[in-house]
Amino acid sequence: MSMVQAPLPATKAESTSASVVGGGRQKRGISLLKARPWLLLAPGLIILAVLMLWPLVQVVIYSLQDYGLREINTGESNWIGLENYAEALTNPTLWTVVLPNTVGFAAVAVFVTVAVGTLVALLLARLGTTWRVIVSSCIMVAWAMPAVTGTYVWTFIFDADRGIFNSVLKDLGLMDGSVNWFTNQWSFYAIVLLNVVHHGFPFVAITVLAGLLGVSKEMLEAAALDGAGAWRRFWKIIFPTLKPVFSVVIILSTIWDFKVFAQVYLMPGGSGGNRSVLNLGVWSYVESFGQNRYGFGAALAVLLTLVLIGITIVYIRSLMKEDEL
């Protein structure tokens, strides 16, 4: 009769070796698991680095030089350090024209865009499903319209000779002759405001509408039964509930309205002919490609980028706070 020999117990050295191998495999598995998101993001990050980071580095390099046509033709570098930044920050145009136009317009545009978008969202929330879809689709046409197309439409409406606005005012007897609305700083930016609000309010409306559909109807009905009017229900129930949504919408609108370019540049006089309507983005472009002062224009672009980065940081922090809630 054959005897089956029992397996010998593993020695201490073999057990230690097996545990080390198992531990090493586990650590490699954990490291690979942690690295997997970055591996998936790597192609996109590489493309962003090539398309955005490297041009930004080049702009910073140009901003430290007296870079013009001579430097482009000869390939030489004329380093001047921070002189372009010093010139920009001590230029009266920055403080008396450019910054007031940029900051003032952004503040007014954000307020009007968010207000109009919220009112439209409240209207959409009261409509039935069919009409809500129809109206939402119609207002999204304004959002889908390119900024260049919208700017030319508003330019035609307020044209001094053939514009609809002047024709209506003359037909109503409110004025005798045609008025060029693009020569005055206030009327110029009023037209730009109409253009920007018309293009931006659909995003606000759809975003706020998505939040409104999640507000408790029972709470609103209970408040109405207690005698709270529409204004009080909005500020006491709807606004606190949608505060994260409003913060995101306001910050995004601020970023977009702060760097408005096409809506100003394509208006008559907005490309530098009327210096009183310059904003930071247009001033940078005019100095770079109109005056061939690429170094000075690059410094202005860097200053605008720094402001936008600061606003973006606030936006990211608000998103993080929203996630924590």
Task: List, for residues 78-89, the tens digit of each pLDDT value.
Answer: 888 899 999 999
Residue 43 in any domain: the answer is no
* Per-residue model confidence as pLDDT tens digits over 236-264: 888 888 888 888 898 889 888 988 999 99
Residue 47 in any domain: the answer is no
Cα dihedral value 200, 201, 206, 208, nearest 10: 120
Gap between the Cα atoms of 169 and 305, Å rounded: 42
Highest mean pLDDT among 35-49, 72-86, 197-211: 197-211
Domain of 197, CATH number, reads 1.10.3720.10
Residue 317 in any domain: the answer is yes
Cβ proximity of 154 and 161 under 8 Å? no
Cβ proximity of 202 and 124 under 8 Å? no
* Per-residue model confidence as pLDDT tens digits over 259-284: 899 999 999 988 888 889 999 989 99
Gap between the Cα atoms of 211 and 234, Å rounded: 13
Q: Is the pLDDT of residue 20 over 50?
A: no
Residue 10 in any domain: the answer is no
Residue 120 in any domain: the answer is yes
Print the SS3 string covering 265-325.
Answer: HCCCCCCCCCHHHCCHHHHHHHHHHHCCCHHHHHHHHHHHHHHHHHHHHHHHHHHHHHHHC
Residue 196 in any domain: the answer is yes
Q: Is the pLDDT of residue 314 over 90?
A: no
> How many domains does one find in the chain?
1
Cβ proximity of 207 and 249 under 8 Å? yes
Distinct helix (H) and strand (E) counts, the chain: 17, 0
Question: What residues form DSSP beta bridges with 65?
Answer: 79
User: Over the chain, what is the mean pLDDT?
Assistant: 84
Looking at residue 18, its pLDDT comes to 46
> Which whole number is the average pLDDT over 121-130?
88
The total of other beta-carbon atoms located within 10 Å of residue 16's CB is: 11
Q: Is the pLDDT of residue 116 over 90?
A: yes
Q: Is the pLDDT of residue 216 over 90?
A: no
Q: Between these two residues, 34 and 109, which has the higher pLDDT value?
A: 109
Residue 213 in any domain: the answer is yes
Looking at residue 27, its pLDDT comes to 62
What confidence category does residue 101 fall into, taking pLDDT thresholds of 50, 70 and 90? Answer: very high
Tell me the two tokens of residue 215: 């507000």
Cβ proximity of 178 and 161 under 8 Å? yes
Domain that holds residue 288: 71-324
- N- to C-terminal Cα distance for the chain? 74
Residue 162 in any domain: the answer is yes
Looking at residue 325, its pLDDT comes to 56
Gap between the Cα atoms of 174 and 169, Å rounded: 5
Q: Between these two residues, 14 and 30, which has the higher pLDDT value?
A: 30
Q: Where are the alpha helices (DSSP H) in 49-146?
A: 54-63, 69-74, 83-90, 92-93, 99-126, 129-144
Looking at residue 29, its pLDDT comes to 59
Cβ proximity of 82 and 296 under 8 Å? no
